[in-house]
């Protein structure tokens, strides 16, 4: 009987050990590459040189300019002036965690898209002038092909950046299960445990098309990151936004606002109860611009009509602007009465810091 008990105990221990090895971990899901693209492509320095058939050109800038919030004027107050719309994953967070020190190379100023016969070119203009910041900032483009608010393609670049076109530091991801915006693109679904951009289709020039995507610093402007990618990738009409990411840098965790509640993530705006930044910081993302179709204005995450942003004004004594519900009391308190550009179905104003 003793022998049988020992034998049974040994079997149980062995079974438990096997099960433990197969339990899911808390780590982000591994990227699922297309056939022929190793999962380690984006970090493998020993891949053979890639023979390119075509490279992007230099192109004149003629397209519409899209504006993001400029937080540099409010950097001495360790806050963003406005523009951090957490529900929409529109993050104005070019600051460090807690101390809220300003990070100019994470702060996107303007962005635009140009096209020639073969390529799309996206220009990301920064407030700072050093994309090769010690933070090792990743820059990216998120593309929504069917205008439903869920990203379909992510182009993601990591340093070092040079003024020469390169594919070695660009990756392209797609999403196989429609979860890049959680359950809804216009609200935070935290805590949400999807796998974001889960399929690597291009990395370090490896993929079905070795010339699919490129990145460089604009040779004429040291504060501009320039992407080029084949028009065959997104098609002829889509929505798009751009990213600067100095912290999470993880396509599998998109969208970031679905990973953390707003209380966990913190806020960059002083009149928000969750100020300062906590789990989600050193990140800037934009609204989504339109290319190749006439927008209705009701598309999720769409940019408001293009207007040049106001120059940030110095402190005027404004305190607790959210307590003012009308224009007269707001302005009498030294605050600013502004239209909420994130709401497209009605004209809505709110009181905020100047």
Q: pLDDT at position 273, please?
A: 96
The two tokens of residue 195 are: 């796998």
Decide which of 333 and 306 is more confident: 333
Mean pLDDT score of the chain: 85
CA angle 146, 238, 340 (to 5 degrees): 90
Exposed e or buried b per residue across 7-41, where buried means at least 16 C-beta atoms within 10 angstroms of its C-beta: eeeeeeeeeeeeeeeeeeeeeeeebebeeebeeeb
> Which of 84-88, 145-149, 151-155, 310-314 has the weakest average pLDDT?
310-314
Listed in order, strand segments (DSSP E) in the chain are 66-67, 92-93, 108-115, 119-126, 138-144, 153-157, 170-174, 199-203, 213-217, 224-230, 238-245, 283-285, 289-291, 336-339, 349-352
Question: To the nearest whole percent, how much of the chain has pLDDT over 70?
Answer: 81
Name the nearest CA neighbour of 140 among 31, 62, 256, 35. Answer: 256
Q: What confidence tens digit (pLDDT) does each residue in 7-52 have?
A: 434 433 433 344 444 433 333 334 444 433 444 344 566 667 788 9
Q: pLDDT at position 8, please?
A: 37
Q: pLDDT at position 309, please?
A: 56
pTM (two decimals): 0.76
Q: pLDDT at position 106, please?
A: 98
Q: What confidence tens digit (pLDDT) does each residue in 50-87 have?
A: 889 999 999 988 888 999 999 999 999 999 999 999 99
Name the nearest CA neighbour of 336 among 344, 327, 345, 346. Answer: 327
Q: pLDDT at position 343, please?
A: 52
* Statement: residue 272 has pLDDT above 50: yes
Exposed e or buried b per residue across 173-206, where buried means at least 16 C-beta atoms within 10 angstroms of its C-beta: bbbeeebbbbeebeebbbebebbbbbbbbbbbbb
Decide which of 330 and 44 is more confident: 330
> Which of 47-56, 194-203, 255-264, 334-343 has the weakest average pLDDT?
334-343
* Statement: residue 307 has pLDDT above 70: no
Q: pLDDT at position 78, please?
A: 98
* Statement: residue 311 has pLDDT above 50: yes
């Amino acid at each position: 009987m003793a022998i049988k008990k020992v034998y049974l105990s040994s079997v149980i221990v062995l079974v438990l050990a096997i099960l433990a090895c197969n339990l899911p971990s808390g780590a982000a899901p591994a990227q699922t590459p297309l056939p022929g693209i190793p999962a380690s492509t984006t970090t493998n320095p020993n891949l053979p040189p890639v023979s390119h058939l075509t490279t992007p050109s230099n192109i004149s800038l003629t397209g519409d300019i899209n504006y993001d919030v400029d937080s540099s004027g409010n950097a001495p107050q360790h806050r963003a002036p406005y523009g951090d719309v957490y529900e929409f994953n529109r993050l104005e967070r070019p600051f460090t965690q807690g101390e809220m020190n300003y990070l100019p190379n994470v702060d996107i100023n303007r962005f635009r898209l140009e096209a020639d016969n073969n390529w799309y070119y996206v220009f990301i203009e920064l407030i700072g002038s050093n994309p090769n910041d010690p933070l090792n900032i990743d820059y990216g483009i998120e593309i929504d092909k069917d205008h439903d608010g869920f990203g379909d393609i992510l182009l993601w670049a990591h340093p070092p950046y040079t003024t020469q076109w390169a594919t070695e530091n660009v990756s392209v991801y797609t999403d196989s299960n429609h979860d890049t915006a959680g359950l809804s693109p216009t609200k935070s679904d935290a805590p949400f445990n999807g796998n974001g951009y889960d399929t690597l289709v291009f990395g370090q020039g490896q993929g079905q098309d070795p010339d699919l995507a490129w990145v460089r610093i604009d040779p004429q402007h040291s504060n501009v990151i320039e992407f080029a990618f084949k028009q065959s990738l997104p098609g002829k009409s889509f929505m798009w936004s751009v990213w600067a990411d100095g912290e999470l840098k993880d396509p599998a965790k998109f969208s970031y606002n679905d990973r953390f509640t707003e209380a966990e993530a913190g806020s960059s705006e002083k009149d928000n109860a969750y100020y300062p930044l906590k789990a989600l910081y050193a990140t800037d993302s934009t609204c989504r611009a339109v290319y190749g179709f006439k927008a209705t204005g009701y598309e999720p995450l769409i940019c408001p009509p293009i207007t040049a942003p106001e120059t940030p004004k110095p402190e005027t004594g404004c305190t607790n602007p959210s307590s003012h519900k009308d224009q007269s009391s707001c302005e009498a308190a030294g605050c600013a009465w502004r239209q909420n550009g994130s709401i497209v179905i009605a004209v809505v104003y709110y009181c905020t810091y100047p």
